[in-house]
A and B are shown apart, each in its own frame.
Chain A
Amino acid sequence: SQQGEEDPQALSIQEGENATMNCSYKTSINNLQWYRQNSGRGLVHLILIRSNEREKHSGRLRVTLDTSKKSSSLLITASRAADTASYFCATDARGSTLGRLYFGRGTQLTVWP
């Protein structure tokens, strides 16, 4: 299936360190999105990167996209305890139903004070 797969499944770091999460997918996409979910809550959209973009920044977030390798990475710089959450990548698939997103299982990030 098209769904994204995040790696690693879990990541534990100290405050101030950088956190890097990766996502791989299978078919051609229009765009790739990253979401964050605090425990038991809804997902919150973080950033969208289009297939013709290679890198995008938003505050402490940096997203890269390599369409030749069908992969993306999310970098959170100078992490804080409040960044503790699950992070999901979501992709569409060219030709699929408009609006349909495929989510992975997520990376559980824990940032220790």
Chain B
Amino acid sequence: ETGVTQTPRHLVMGMTNKKSLKCEQHLGHNAMYWYKQSAKKPLELMFVYSLEERVENNSVPSRFSPECPNSSHLFLHLHTLQPEDSALYLCASSTQGLAGGPLEQFFGPGTRLTVL
């Protein structure tokens, strides 16, 4: 266990559904991340939150909507997804590094999303 939990672990949804992914960390970290992992592709950073403010939105379609209500929780709201959005969605958290660059990130187990 890394101290980062994600729910649900598996999700199957139709293209017209609305669902949310949840991530929780109690490691005292001040940065949280959403990544998308598709087969045969590098891990894609979707969103970065630092001190509950979104500091990066990596050209992600608006059908993905993140929310960070506090430093321990991160959500990814999903609506009108496409089949190509099927992937493993990973949440991570870290302490923001300063002069020494980014520090290690702690990942959750991921949510396996299938869009029909």
Q: Is the interface of A mostly helix, strand, loop or mixed?
A: loop
For B33, the closest partner residue in chain A by CB is A99
User: A92 to chain B: which residues have CB within 8 Å?
Assistant: 101-102
User: A35 to chain B: which residues have CB within 8 Å?
Assistant: 107
Beta-carbon contact of B102 and A42 below 8 Å:
no
The answer, yes or no, to whether B28 is at the interface (CB within 8 Å) is no
Beta-carbon contact of A41 and B42 below 8 Å:
no
Beta-carbon contact of A3 and B42 below 8 Å:
yes
What is the total number of residues of chain B having a CB less than 8 Å from a CB of chain A? 33
B26 to chain A, nearest CB (A): 16
Give the contacting residue for B42; candidates A29, A48, A98, A105; CB below 8 A. Answer: A105
What is the total number of residues of chain A having a CB less than 8 Å from a CB of chain B? 27
The answer, yes or no, to whether A12 is at the interface (CB within 8 Å) is no
Chain B residues at the A interface, C-beta cutoff of 8 Å: 2, 4, 6, 31, 33, 40-43, 45, 48, 50, 55-56, 88, 90, 92, 94, 96-98, 100-110, 112
Chain A residues at the B interface, C-beta cutoff of 8 Å: 3, 29-31, 33, 35, 40-45, 48, 50-51, 88, 92, 94, 97-105
